[in-house]
Amino acid sequence: DGGITQSPKYLFRKEGQNVTLSCEQNLNHDAMYWYRQDPGQGLRLIYYSQIVNDFQKGDIAEGYSVSREKKESFPLTVTSAQKNPTAFYPCASSMTGAEEQYFGPGTRLTVT
Amino acid sequence: GQNIDQPTEMTATEGAIVQINCTYQTSGFNGLFWYQQHAGEAPTFLSYNVLDGLEEKGRFSSFLSRSKGYSYLLLKELQMKDSASYLCAVRVAYSGAGSYQLTFGKGTKLSVIP
């Protein structure tokens, strides 16, 4: 089955630790995206990548880093510089930047 | 920047019709999307409008007026499983870079009651 996978669904970390969230797709999509969602809020774009080995900052990139070494994978690292990392993190992909985005199940990160 | 407004919450009765409105102010408009998001889950794509008019897809329809910066999502024959948040998202094209971004509204939480 084609789709987007994110694991784990729930992730717990101590403050001051970096943590990497995975996002894998087998849809042969060129573009991939990372969003953050806080309770009662809309999705906010962290980073996006339209092609392998290239990515751009979104609206709230500070404290996050990404890589896009393979078409299928777009991992997100939440660094200790991110002041309020506890949130829901869904990633998405689209055929190209001009097509509709499809979302993975998301990872809920809790940092204490 | 972009500004997207939609009602925070709505309640409707099973079997009825509900219209969820979305207004937006943006430059570089390149399409409007509606997504459904059940509690604790990621959004799922519902509809896409880039030209003015109505797009119908089963029980769901979406309308766009670009001149008014206005869209609505119409849900017919409401079912209990339609209880979810409905997110309006505007796509903006950045010329020269060939890139696009989606900006999401905060979502409308719809509760369907018996």
Better pLDDT: B112 or B39:
B112
pLDDT tens for A40-61 read: 888 999 999 989 999 999 989 9
Most B CBs within 10 A among A27, A38, A43, hence the mutation to make, goes to: A43
DSSP string, A16-64: T--EEE--EE-S--SEEEEEEE-TT--EEEEEEEEETTEEEE-TT-TTE
DSSP string, B7-66: -SEEEEETT--EEEEEEEE-SSEEEEEEEEE-TTS--EEEEEE-SSEEEEETTEEEEEET
38-97 in A: which are within 8 Å (CB) of B? 40-45, 48, 50, 56, 58, 90, 97
pLDDT value, residue B2: 74
Say if residue B49's pLDDT is above 90: yes
Say if residue B24's pLDDT is above 60: yes
pLDDT value, residue B96: 54
How many Cα atoms within 13 Å fall on the side-chain side of residue A84? 7
Say if residue B97's pLDDT is above 60: no
| Low-confidence stretches of chain A (pLDDT beneath 50) | none
Cβ pair A56:B42 closer than 8 A: no
